[in-house]
A and B are shown apart, each in its own frame.
Chain A
Amino acid sequence: MPELSVPSLLEVRNLTRRFPGVVALDDVNFDVVRGEVHALVGENGAGKSTLINILAGVLQPSEGRILIDGAAVVFSDPPGSQSCGISVIFQEFSLLPHLSVAENVFVTREPRRGPLIDWETMNRNTAEILHTLNLDIEPSTPVSKLSVSQQQLVEIARALSSKARVIIMDEPTAALNEREVVRLLEIVRSLASSGVAVIYVSHRLAEVFSVADRVTVFRDGRHISTSPRNAVTEQQVVAAMVGRKLAHLERPMRTSGEIILEARELTVDNGVVRNVSFSLRRGEVLGLAGLMGSGCSELMEGLFGLRKITSGTLTLDREPLQANHPRAAIRAGIGFVPEDRKTNGLFSDLAVTENLTIGALPRWLKSIPAFLDPARERQITLEYKRQLNVRFSRPEQRISGLSGGNQQKIILGRALAENCRVLLLEEPTRGVDVGAKAEIYTLIDGLVAKGIAILLQTSELPELIRLADRCIVFVAGEARAELSGNEVTQEAVMEVATGLSHRVAIRDQALEVANGE
């Protein structure tokens, strides 16, 4: 554990960053010392990304200073930040897929003999670094051929090869399975013990608490708190992130009807999800939980025709369901609210009305000729505006002008407008502020009360607890356990999803590495 008297390696003071209409960072102080893992947590919009981008040299601060080893530095582009010893691993990585591992590791620093690239030296040096990361691949492999976790290790290798003194990781475990997460956290700890300062930005408190030395909370662009890991509990951190004590999460009493959707031995995409069976009743919310890559979202996508169901049967209302395309699924009465609405859901250039009605246009055409009926669409939009309490000033305005929560409500409205009997929700409140979150939960309660069957996939456990009557926990593509009613608790779900033994092991191993050299 680093001592308190050690001076900061990297520090930001009074850092502020403004954009038209929003202050993304407001007079923020933050520092990290040599050899520590400093976790940065906060909800969406808290300012974490902005800070990362400033430290990466992608953005300039509006005010404030950045200090390295106590001396103020200014950099105006990524190479500038890199020359100060800062290396950032973005969530979507900065890899060049067609180039080899070695080239990615040494890009812009390729060893040369005269004007020529010195392949041997480059490959050799790369192999050494990969060895320390326990990554056993040929340096000449094209990066596109690697798995996500291997690619991440290549990113870390690049940071190492540039002799980075500060490594910033943005949501590093988002795309990893549980084994890979363990391996990554081990590597993070060993990086720290070799003197590198690691800034670990993540939503996932379990990991944060197993790897970090200090935990900092941001909220709404402001620095809220910084504490040593031992001095604070997960509850306290969550409270700081959200800004208020979480009220006792309450799920209303629900009575569910007959079974409407039945799945037997479903396999998706030849094995990404294997032999899953479940039944879904009207008026109930069935939750799917599991770490990234465990198969929940893949299953949802399979149900909606975005992925191939390679074996097993699916019955909707006692009739066999063949949803091999979203259009077929919609016609059969299945609605879908995808995660990442920006990529998968929103038509940013189009109006609110157009976004709402796109899924079920044939319902609102004039009879002869089959033209669109703008007046009717407007009316429907206003109707949904009322029902879902969406905030916008005119139905014709572009949907990109709405807040995240309101956009999400429109996407939800789109599925409802298709008259669905089964509603698939993927991360329904991601990127939605707390107030809108509560509204959406109430909306979901209302829908369920009307008899709609909901399948919910979410990585936010409080949300799962709040909404789901039953929950299936997935591990590595299989349904590991089913919990219902009172059994559905955060601890229980996490236990199954990560395997409690794993969690303990991470902490123990981390302690070993920290203490043991």
Chain B
Amino acid sequence: MSDRPQILSMSSSQHEKDRRRAAIDWDLLWEKFGIATVLILVWIVAALGTPRFANLDNLSSVLRQSAFVGISAIGMTVAIIAGTFDLSVGSAQALSAWIAVLVAAHYGVVPAFIAAVLVGGIVGLLNGSLVVLLRIPAFIATLGTMFLISGLTFIFTNGQTARFNGKDFVWWGNGQLGGIPVPFLIFLLCALVGVVILHRTPFGRYVFAVGSNIRAAHVAGVPIGRTVLCVFLTVGLFTGLGAALLGSRLYSAGPGLEPGFELNVIATVVLGGTRLAGGRGSMLGTIAAAILFATLANILNLNHVDAFVQRVAVGLVLLLALSVEGIRQRLFERWNRRKPPTN
């Protein structure tokens, strides 16, 4: 047998190289826990600065508020990790909430929730079909669906708000379990489901793959079409659930329910550390970001800050958080004048 190169022994320097390469990935740590840390800090500062903040009732209210955007953001996190997004969640939410209220009034709570989730799912499938089957870019497809659905909502509702305050129904959006608001518990549950989907199912793995490198995903045999379709379905289902809770909370629902909702949802996901480019994401970050936004609104409210200033503050926070990333990149660049070119 001829001389075979010695490949079985690893020199110690190689060991060293391996270990050094796996040094602490600060990037990843920040992505996963950054916003949660910020949230805790903000809460501490708020509790110290604004006495009424640390009030149990108030905190409960903050958590409750965070759930409505939060649940939708769970689905949106999946979408953004997959490298896409959905602009129609606002209009889907309005329609689903209205259906929920209507069905609750006539058929009861459980059918109401089921109907809302179904409606959300149908909108999601519609979006998914447009993107996958008709090859329309997600931006335009969901923009178009947004117009479509909001228009349909107006038509179905005749511009009217539906109301229902049956006790069993409104408990879901307004009640508490062991001191914790029900919507928030559901939010946590949804987050758990989201984590399981992303990290324990093949679908979740495919979501990461598609978002990370869609071309490689194609070559590796990932069922891209099916995956993207299910991504949009997921967004729709979660949005539907959140919508039902919102309708329950407000005792009512109708067209024009919450303008700017989709942007809030996307902002929550991005602030939570999930990159718009896809391939990476943090569900924990989404939760923290949802609570953070609700906290900010709450703090401003407690301090009797103008409602309008609140809007500005929220936008500023978002931009600031994202600018940090940009500034960091610029500094890195100035330091290094670009990454080493790869041959």
* A residues whose Cβ falls under 8 Å from a Cβ of B: 19-20, 22, 24, 44-46, 48-50, 52-53, 58-60, 250, 252, 304, 306, 326-327, 329-330, 336, 338, 342-350, 354, 358-359, 361-362, 365, 370-372, 389, 391-394, 397-398, 401-402, 414, 418, 431, 438-439, 442
B135 at the A interface (CB under 8 A): no
The listed residue (B5, B14, B341) touching A53 by CB distance below 8 A is B341
B18–A391 contact, CB under 8 A?
yes
B177 at the A interface (CB under 8 A): no
A50–B209 contact, CB under 8 A?
no
Residues of B with C-beta under 8 A to A60: 337
B144 at the A interface (CB under 8 A): no
Q: Find residues 16-42 in chain B having any chain A CB closer than 8 Å to their own CB.
A: 17-19, 21-22, 25, 28
Determine how close the nearest CB of chain B comes to the CB of A255; give it in whole angstroms.
16
Determine how close the nearest CB of chain A comes to the CB of B131; give it in whole angstroms.
19
For the complex, give the distance between the alpha carbons of A345 and B215 in Å: 8
For the complex, give the distance between the alpha carbons of A24 and B340 in Å: 8
For the complex, give the distance between the alpha carbons of A96 and B259 in Å: 40
A359–B221 contact, CB under 8 A?
yes
State whether A391 and B10 are in contact (beta carbons under 8 Å apart), knowing that A19-B336, A361-B205, A365-B202 are contacts in the complex: yes
B213 at the A interface (CB under 8 A): yes
State whether A393 and B18 are in contact (beta carbons under 8 Å apart), knowing that A44-B343, A342-B342, A344-B215 are contacts in the complex: yes
State whether A58 and B201 are in contact (beta carbons under 8 Å apart), knowing that A345-B216, A358-B220, A401-B22 are contacts in the complex: no
A347–B343 contact, CB under 8 A?
no
The listed residue (A19, A326, A338, A354) touching B205 by CB distance below 8 A is A354
B280 at the A interface (CB under 8 A): yes
Residues of A with C-beta under 8 A to B208: 347, 349-350, 354
B328 at the A interface (CB under 8 A): no
Q: Across the A-B interface, how many residue pairs have beta carbons closer than 8 Å?
A: 128
B220–A372 contact, CB under 8 A?
no
State whether A398 and B25 are in contact (beta carbons under 8 Å apart), knowing that A19-B339, A349-B280, A438-B5 are contacts in the complex: yes
B21–A326 contact, CB under 8 A?
no
A346–B216 contact, CB under 8 A?
yes
Residues of A with C-beta under 8 A to B336: 19-20
For the complex, give the distance between the alpha carbons of A53 and B31 in Å: 32
The listed residue (B200, B212, B216, B341) touching A371 by CB distance below 8 A is B200
B338 closest partner in A (C-beta): A59
Residues of B with C-beta under 8 A to A20: 336
A-B contacts, 6 of them at CB < 8 A, read A50-B340, A58-B338, A344-B216, A354-B209, A358-B209, A358-B217
Determine how close the nearest CB of chain B comes to the CB of A338; give it in whole angstroms.
5
Determine how close the nearest CB of chain B comes to the CB of A402; give it in whole angstroms.
8
Determine how close the nearest CB of chain A comes to the CB of B199; give it in whole angstroms.
7
B159 at the A interface (CB under 8 A): no
A392–B18 contact, CB under 8 A?
yes
